[in-house]
Amino acid sequence: MAWERKIMRTVRVRNENKVGTLARLMAAISGLQASVGTIELINETAHSVVRDITVYAEDAEHMDHVIEAMRANEGTRVLAIRDEVLELHQKGKIAIRSRYPIDSIATLRRVYTPGVAEVCLKIADDPALARLYTSVSHMVAIVTDGTAVLGLGDIGPLAGMPVMEGKAMLMETLVGLSGVPILLNTKDPDEIVRAVSTISTTFAAIQLEDISAPRCFEIEERLQSMLDIPVLHDDQHGTAVVSLAALMTAAKRANVDLNKVTVGQVGLGAAGNSIGRMIMSLTGNPVYGADLSEEAVKRFEDAGGRRSSLKEIMAECDVVIATTGAPNLIQPEMVRKGQVILALSNPNPEIDPEIALAQGAAFAADGKSVNNVLGFPGIFRGAVDANAPRITHEMLIAATEVLVRMTPAGELMPNPLDKKVHLEVARAVAETAMKQGIARAEYVPYVEG
């Protein structure tokens, strides 16, 4: 059975050192349709063997059944159960650190008073110097109201903090930007716009994150019109860049010409609306669009899309992209032979790729392999380095083209941990800003360290 691995536990067991004990334990786990990851030997004696076994289950209840089966296995004693995901998140995943050690009075006087006053006065005379003498040049606000977190929905800004921390970690690790989570305890667009615009002086760019549609469209548009730094709603544009790149690669592998096939977009929220619009800008052809929200469908129609339904899309479209957040929405019998299906909702796709392939799909993938981590770090790095006031459609297309070009043979997307990919995206974005005449700084590629 295949699923998005949602629940993981590390179970420490002591097995009798007898032939068959471990094999029976593995059989008990697999018999409950669970999966085993790593098995680490901790200690071995003549009588027993202690191991840490990583177990994956569908949900908490399923995991409880698996643990009970492990306890019931003859010759096995469960010593401890650890949730390594929760352990990793304890006390948060990010922190602000000084770039220089304060190890002497002389250093203290340079970084703080009285030396810092000279720097303050220079910036007061020429605010542009803040990019040279402060962290503003590499600070990105990651702003959320917690109304559309992953596929979990409106769980509030505080519950969305682990995602914001993860975004900040990726920015710093992959391209050296300092992402700062900003949690807004309001859903009012006016209050959100007011708050973000007020603090914007601190940052080189604003990343809007996990803000539900349709408010996200208005908030992004208003903020970008007010501010002279890039404002990007990642759930729209970052997701669209990566999804379009994956689609272009998948189409090539399935021998499909995107300019000559019918494309359907199921789900017209922040991500789906943007994906559909990018495809239409690329091909010049209307994309079929379906959503339960009449407002969302009307917005998509106004952008050039064609009103449709899930049934019609599955029956008529050669390429199907789904971003609904509804697990198992696409039933196996709906899949037609030769279709390309990207079921991108996380943590649970609209249809499991293996099921779609078994039903005759020419190509299928889910959100695990099509993830916007390949988009936003490089896009922001390039825009910030070029000191561009905004991120244009052309800059996003440039990022897409890099991802397609750097995808290894036989893969759908590049390795998201390959820093060369992210820096190449940054270069393409910055160079596009320069060609468009909106770069306000000479582009100097970021070098780690």
pLDDT at 2: 34
pLDDT at 28: 94
Amino acid letter, residue 248: M
Q: Is 288 annotated in the active site?
A: no
- pLDDT tens string 178-219: 999 999 999 999 999 999 999 999 999 999 999 998 999 999
The whole-number average pLDDT for the span 56-82 is 93
Across the beta sheet with 205-208, the strand order is 178-183, 139-144, 205-208, 231-233
pLDDT at 30: 92
Q: Is the pLDDT of residue 1 over 50?
A: no
Question: Residues 408, 413, 418, CA angle at the centre, nearest 5°?
Answer: 75
- pLDDT tens string 99-113: 889 999 998 999 998
Greater pLDDT, 253 or 145: 145
Q: How far apart are CA 435 and CA 433, in angstroms?
A: 5
Q: Which of 6, 56, 112, 260 is catalytic?
A: 112
Q: How far apart are CA 359 and CA 287, in angstroms?
A: 24
pLDDT at 115: 87
Going from the C-alpha of 280 to that of each of 258, 276, 318, 371, the distances in angstroms are: 10, 6, 15, 21
pLDDT at 317: 96
Q: How far apart are CA 193 and CA 218, in angstroms?
A: 9
pLDDT at 113: 86
Q: Where are the alpha helices (DSSP H) in 32-115?
A: 60-72, 84-89, 105-111
- For 80, phi then psi, to 5°, come to -160, 155
pLDDT at 232: 96
Location of structure tokens 């700062």: 180
pLDDT at 377: 96
Contact 316, 334 (CB under 8 A): no
Output Rg (C-alpha) for the chain, integer angstroms: 25
pLDDT at 51: 94
Q: Is the pLDDT of residue 59 over 50?
A: yes
Q: How far apart are CA 99 and CA 111, in angstroms?
A: 11
pLDDT at 275: 94
pLDDT at 449: 64
| Of 230, 155, 217, nearest in space to 189 by CA | 217
All domains in the chain, ordered by first residue: 7-89 (3.30.70.260), 105-235 (3.40.50.10380), 238-370 (3.40.50.720)
pLDDT at 370: 81
Q: Which of 56, 167, 288, 443 is catalytic?
A: 167
Q: How many CB atoms lie within 10 A of CB 133?
A: 14
Q: Tell me the CB-side half-sphere exposure of residue 132, using CA atoms within 13 A.
A: 10
- Could you give the angle at which helices 376-385 and 393-405 cross, rounded to 10 degrees? 130
> DSSP characters for 349-417?
-SS-HHHHHHTT-SEEEETTTS-GGGTHHHHHHHHHHTT-SS--HHHHHHHHHHHHHTPPTT-SS--TT
Cα-Cα-Cα-Cα torsion 242, 208, 88, 55, nearest 10 degrees, comes to -40
DSSP 8-state code for residue 153: B
Q: How far apart are CA 351 and CA 364, in angstroms?
A: 9
Q: How far apart are CA 116 and CA 138, in angstroms?
A: 20
Contact 265, 290 (CB under 8 A): yes
For 76, the token pair is 């096995």
pTM of the full predicted structure? 0.84
Q: Is 133 annotated in the active site?
A: no
Q: Is the pLDDT of residue 294 over 90?
A: yes
Q: Tell me the CB-side half-sphere exposure of residue 168, using CA atoms within 13 A.
A: 22
